[in-house]
């Protein structure tokens, strides 16, 4: 199986793992309780809309009014006074998140009811009673229990006076609260407190909404009244909401049509406020019954006024807690939620653990949850998770990307890339979360797939490396001399003792045009072709006593080593280099139409050669600066258009070869300079023309080092008149022309600094 197929397979498998985990209810719970919490934590608190205000029944108010800590026992005449105060100051709606299902003093109840009726904008909370009704078959045998939810309204004087009644059920279990109900299906699709509050607040835009609705939905429903005044007079808020909700559920395309029409040409006619209100109403009816809350922050973030201060307020509320409340100008135009404060819960019955509970150690009260839900509807900004198909696509794509990165890159680069990809993913999720209240899954991608990808990569690479090491050991048996193999076998229990510092010559080759050749051949054909090519290269090395140390792609490294410097060893390496050139020329003639131009670099010095490695993996190879230098010298051929470059160290005390000195070079990535020579051939094969050519070049090089640019250019031109395509002459001529225009400083010594391989 090819590496690319394996890479695709692993990438697909990683993505599929994310998809399978997404179907797990346990993983989805973790996504909600930890992933969502992370997004809120990174985002922090945000500014709530100024139109919503909470009046809190708190401990300070109980003490200031000399009342019991049990708020159910507070005189309802105080609530009547609060309603009149809020109504007189222009509150748009007054929402009580308190239950009034038990009668108190009859006069107080009547006074409270009169104040509610007079205000005509009050919504009271209804409770939900759950009953289990046993179901039996015709024979009377028990089958199951049927759960029935029934709305329990406030006492009659209040229920008849309120503009609307609505429940606000929330789950009371020891888990993180993230959602609320917009409509309670089990209770006859009853709209909840935030929905009713928003519907009343948007009443001034009801005519536009009704017109938009009837433009898309031609069948008039008698349960839906055309004018808000009729709805208010008949106290038909709940019935109207239920009628709209059922129509939107039966015909989902209505919402799409209304939204499309809302964004059409009529859009400029409406102001931005009406545009937002209509969009919020449509999405409220369109969405699911259970919606996610986009929390504003910890307890107290929403503008909050103490109950006793609200009673005394005449023009503007003081003692307001919460963010950015300093600009509040009173109750006018605001929706006021009245309910228990977070510090007024002696039995802890109205506190809910949320993503911000650990921020200040205080849970959010029920009235704050209701106000948050209303504010989300008002802003048309309910937190929306990705649709299920898109959720799976995002998780699959990210998992596939991680698999691709981990398997196709080296471990270090893969680790950094995975960290970078995860950071980018989290940043993107935060941008969508902050700007659009769009919840992109983060727990499964970042806390399950990312560690799994890294761990799987380590395991996979270990298995691959173990298999490759086994193949390498077997391959070295074909190329290493028998004494070396025997030495490794004898020292296998103490393999480090086989390594020693010796004097060696490193020969490094590289084939030009290999990349283009590999694109034109299929892998099998290319493999057979390169085997024949290396067979030609190996013979001169073996013949001259060298060892093939490494073969990678189109490159080969050979070494000659002895315990002390030996001129005959260096001469043997030079003969091998010339033999390689002759062998490659013969190979190119045998393969008509295909030509591999082989470049060679050679350097000599002390190296450590032997078994290099650790733990359970060792390789017999040279280690030292001469290996890197030989590779850089091979690459230098590309710039000088030469074929065999050798260092000054290789030619010491070596006779019988025709060479020319090319100057002193600081190779790319090196800190020490090297004197470079070109190995042209055997001395016995030289002729007068070559001698004159080398003499001209040497004169040019001397003039170059002494900064006589014109003299150097003239000498190189004479050399080029003999060999028009001589690379070193062209190279130095261009340098002289450049340095003539921009002379070097006084410290310049003629060294050529290579800025690239």
Residue 665 clears pLDDT 90, i.e. is over it: yes
Mean pLDDT for the stretch of residues 306-314: 86
Distance CA 408, CA 341 (A): 57
Residue 549: its H or E element: strand 547-552
The per-residue pLDDT for 614 is 67
Cβ 573 vs Cβ 505: under 8 Å: yes
Distance CA 169, CA 342 (A): 18
Indicate if the alpha-carbon torsion angle 398, 404, 410, 411 is positive or negative: positive
- Structure tokens belonging to residue 206: 């009801």
Radius of gyration for the chain, computed over Cα atoms and rounded to the nearest angstrom: 43
Indicate if the alpha-carbon torsion angle 732, 735, 740, 746 is positive or negative: negative
Distance CA 198, CA 281 (A): 8
pLDDT tens digits, 53-100 = 999 998 889 989 998 878 888 999 999 999 999 999 999 999 999 999
Mean pLDDT for the stretch of residues 489-516: 74
181: phi then psi, degrees, rounded to nearest 5: -90, 135
pTM for the full predicted model: 0.62
Alpha helices in 304-449 (DSSP H): 307-312, 357-360, 366-378, 388-408, 411-436
Phi-psi region of 51 (alpha: psi -120 to 50; beta: other; left: phi over 0): alpha
- Structure tokens belonging to residue 495: 């393999």
257: phi then psi, degrees, rounded to nearest 5: -65, -40
Distance CA 129, CA 149 (A): 6
Which residues have a Cβ under 8 Å from the Cβ of 535 and sit 6 or more positions away? none
Distance CA 68, CA 596 (A): 98
Residue 123: its H or E element: strand 122-136
Nearest Cα neighbor of 713 from 691, 738, 743, 693 is 738
The per-residue pLDDT for 171 is 73
DSSP string, 75-121: -HHHHHHHHHHHHHTT-SEEEEEEE--S---HHHHHHHHHHHHHHS-
Cβ 50 vs Cβ 327: under 8 Å: yes
Q: Give the Å distances, CA to CA, from 583 to 35, 207, 302, 580.
A: 65, 93, 85, 5
Report residue 670's pLDDT band, with 50, 70 and 90 as the boundaries.
confident
Mean pLDDT for the stretch of residues 490-518: 75
The per-residue pLDDT for 72 is 85
249-253, 469-473, 591-595 — most confident range: 249-253
Report residue 412's pLDDT band, with 50, 70 and 90 as the boundaries.
confident
Cβ 96 vs Cβ 338: under 8 Å: yes
Q: Give the Å distances, CA to CA, from 602 to 563, 575, 577, 673, 679.
A: 19, 12, 9, 15, 10
Report residue 525's pLDDT band, with 50, 70 and 90 as the boundaries.
confident
Nearest Cα neighbor of 282 from 333, 246, 244 is 244
Cβ 85 vs Cβ 310: under 8 Å: yes
pLDDT tens digits, 183-234 = 998 888 899 999 999 999 999 999 999 999 998 987 777 889 999 999 999 9
427: phi then psi, degrees, rounded to nearest 5: -65, -40
Cβ 599 vs Cβ 491: under 8 Å: no
Residue 207: its H or E element: helix 206-216
Distance CA 170, CA 172 (A): 6
Report residue 172's pLDDT band, with 50, 70 and 90 as the boundaries.
low
The per-residue pLDDT for 315 is 47
Indicate if the alpha-carbon torsion angle 229, 230, 236, 241 is positive or negative: negative
Cβ 10 vs Cβ 408: under 8 Å: no
Report residue 317's pLDDT band, with 50, 70 and 90 as the boundaries.
very low
pLDDT tens digits, 440-496 = 999 999 998 888 888 877 877 777 777 765 654 555 555 455 555 555 555 555 455
Cβ 229 vs Cβ 235: under 8 Å: no
Distance CA 127, CA 166 (A): 8
């Amino acid at each position: 199986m090819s590496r690319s197929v394996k890479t695709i397979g692993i990438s697909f498998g990683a993505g599929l793992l994310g998809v399978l985990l997404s179907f797990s209810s346990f993983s989805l719970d973790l996504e909600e309780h930890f992933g969502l919490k992370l997004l809120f934590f990174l985002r922090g608190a945000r500014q709530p809309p100024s139109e919503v205000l909470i009046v809190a029944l708190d401990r300070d108010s109980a003490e200031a009014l000399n009342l019991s800590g049990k708020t159910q026992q507070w005189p309802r005449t105080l609530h009547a006074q609060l309603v009149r105060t809020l109504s007189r100051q222009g509150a748009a709606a007054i929402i009580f998140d308190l239950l009034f299902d038990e009668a108190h003093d009859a006069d107080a109840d009547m006074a409270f009811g009169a104040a509610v009726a007079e205000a005509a904008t009050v919504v009271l909370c209804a409770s939900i009673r759950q009953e289990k009704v046993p179901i039996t078959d015709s024979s009377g045998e028990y089958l199951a229990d049927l759960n029935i939810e029934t709305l329990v309204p406030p006492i009659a004087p209040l229920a008849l006076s309120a503009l609307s009644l609505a429940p606000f059920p929330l789950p009371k279990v020891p888990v993180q609260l993230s959602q609320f109900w917009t409509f309670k299906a089990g209770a006859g699709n009853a709209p909840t407190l935030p929905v009713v509050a928003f519907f009343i607040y948007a009443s001034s835009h009801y005519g536009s909404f009704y017109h938009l609705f009837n433009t898309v939905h031609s069948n008039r429903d008698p349960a839906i009244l055309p004018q808000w005044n009729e709805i208010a007079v008949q106290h038909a808020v709940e019935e109207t909401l239920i009628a709209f909700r059922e129509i939107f559920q039966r015909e989902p395309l209505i919402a799409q049509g209304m939204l499309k029409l809302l964004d059409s040409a009529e859009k400029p006619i409406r102001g931005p406020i009406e545009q937002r209100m209509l969009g919020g109403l449509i999405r409220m009816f369109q969405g699911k019954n259970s919606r996610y809350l986009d929390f504003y922050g910890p307890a107290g973030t929403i503008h909050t006024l103490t109950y006793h201060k609200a009673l005394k307020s005449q023009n503007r509320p003081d003692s307001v807690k919460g963010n950015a409340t300093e600009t509040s100008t009173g109750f006018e135009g605001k929706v006021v939620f009245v309910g228990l404060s977070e510090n007024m819960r002696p039995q802890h019955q109205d506190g809910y653990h949320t993503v911000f509970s650990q921020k200040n150690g205080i849970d959010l009260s029920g009235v704050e949850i209701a106000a948050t839900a209303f504010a989300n509807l008002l802003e048309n900004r309910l937190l929306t998770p990705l649709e299920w198909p898109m959720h799976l696509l995002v998780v699959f794509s990210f998992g596939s990307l991680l698999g691709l990165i981990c398997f196709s890159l080296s471990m270090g680069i893969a680790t950094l890339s995975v960290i970078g990809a995860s950071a980018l993913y989290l940043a993107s999720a935060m941008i969508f979360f902050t700007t659009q209240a769009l919840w992109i899954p983060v727990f499964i991608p970042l806390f399950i797939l990312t560690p799994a990808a890294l761990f799987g990569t380590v395991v996979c690479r270990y298995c691959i490396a173990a298999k490759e090491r086994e193949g390498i050991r077997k391959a070295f048996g074909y190329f290493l001399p028998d004494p070396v193999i025997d030495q490794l076998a004898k020292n296998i229990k103490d393999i480090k003792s086989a390594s020693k510092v010796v004097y060696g010559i490193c020969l490094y080759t590289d084939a030009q045009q290999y990349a283009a050749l590999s694109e034109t051949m299929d892998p099998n054909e290319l493999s057979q072709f390169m085997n024949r090519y290396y067979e030609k290269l190996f013979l001169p090395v073996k013949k001259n006593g060298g060892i093939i140390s490494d073969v990678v792609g189109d490159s080969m490294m050979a070494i000659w080593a002895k315990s002390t410097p030996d001129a005959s060893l260096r001469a043997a390496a030079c003969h091998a280099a010339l033999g390689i050139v002759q062998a490659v020329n013969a190979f190119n003639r045998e393969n008509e139409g295909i030509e591999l131009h082989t470049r060679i670099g050679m350097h000599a010095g002390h190296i450590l050669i032997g078994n290099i490695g650790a733990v359970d993996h060792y390789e017999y190879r040279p280690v030292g600066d001469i290996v890197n230098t030989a590779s850089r010298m091979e690459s230098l051929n590309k710039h000088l258009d030469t074929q065999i470059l050798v260092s000054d160290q290789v030619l010491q005390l070596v006779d019988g070869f025709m060479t020319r000195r090319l100057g002193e070079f600081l190779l790319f990535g090196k800190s020490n300079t090297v004197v470079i020579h070109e190995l042209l051939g055997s001395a016995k094969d030289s002729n007068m023309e070559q001698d004159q050519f080398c003499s001209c070049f040497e004169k040019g090089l001397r003039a170059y080092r002494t900064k006589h640019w014109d003299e150097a250019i003239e000498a190189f031109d004479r050399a080029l008149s003999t060999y028009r395509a001589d690379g070193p002459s062209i190279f130095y001529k261009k340098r002289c022309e450049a340095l003539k225009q921009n002379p070097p400083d006084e410290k310049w010594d003629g060294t050529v600094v290579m800025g690239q391989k």
